[in-house]
């Protein structure tokens, strides 16, 4: 499967724990984007990364959230000390280059439930 791969698909955490979501972009893609989606709502942009660089993190909360895209391995979205409000679906998308027009390729998402 050459698509965007996300894992885990489902993650359950208790309040105060850490959540780590992983995203492997499509083969040949070096640009990764993370989005968050609440039920019955559209996606909300969180962060845009290239290999080893954060390009735009304007949509990501300053506290408890971080993202990285190392030279080797998947991109990781990390949420520390999770709260119930963090429960959502988190989608990763990738593109081959800077995306002005054209399509984003999305993964299946990781659904975080905070108890």
Q: ∠63-33-53 over CA atoms, to 5°?
A: 70
Is 21 in contact with 91 (CB distance < 8 Å)? no
Percentage helix, strand, coil, to 5, in the chain?
Answer: 5, 50, 50
Minimum distance between the CB of residue 35 and other proteins, rounded to whole angstroms? 8
Binding site for other proteins (CB under 8 A): 4, 33, 35, 40-45, 48, 56, 58-59, 91, 93, 95, 99-109, 111
Count how many Cα atoms sit within 13 Å of the Cα of residue 38 in the half-sphere of its side chain: 6
Minimum distance between the CB of residue 91 and other proteins, rounded to whole angstroms? 5
Minimum distance between the CB of residue 31 and other proteins, rounded to whole angstroms? 8
- Choice between 17 and 57, CB closer to other proteins: 57
- Choice between 23 and 114, CB closer to other proteins: 23
- C-alpha to C-alpha distance for 3 and 1, rounded to whole angstroms: 6
- Choice between 18 and 41, CB closer to other proteins: 41
């Amino acid at each position: 499967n050459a698509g965007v791969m996300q894992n885990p698909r489902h993650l359950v955490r208790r309040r105060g724990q850490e959540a780590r979501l992983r995203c492997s972009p499509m083969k040949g893609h070096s640009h990764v984007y993370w989005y968050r989606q609440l039920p019955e709502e559209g996606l909300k942009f969180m962060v845009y990364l290239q290999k080893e660089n954060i390009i735009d993190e304007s949509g990501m909360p300053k506290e408890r959230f971080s993202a990285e895209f190392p030279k080797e391995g998947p991109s990781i979205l990390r949420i520390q000390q999770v709260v119930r409000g963090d429960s959502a679906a988190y989608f990763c998308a990738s593109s081959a280059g800077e995306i002005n027009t054209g399509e984003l390729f999305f993964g299946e998402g990781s659904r975080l439930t905070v108890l």
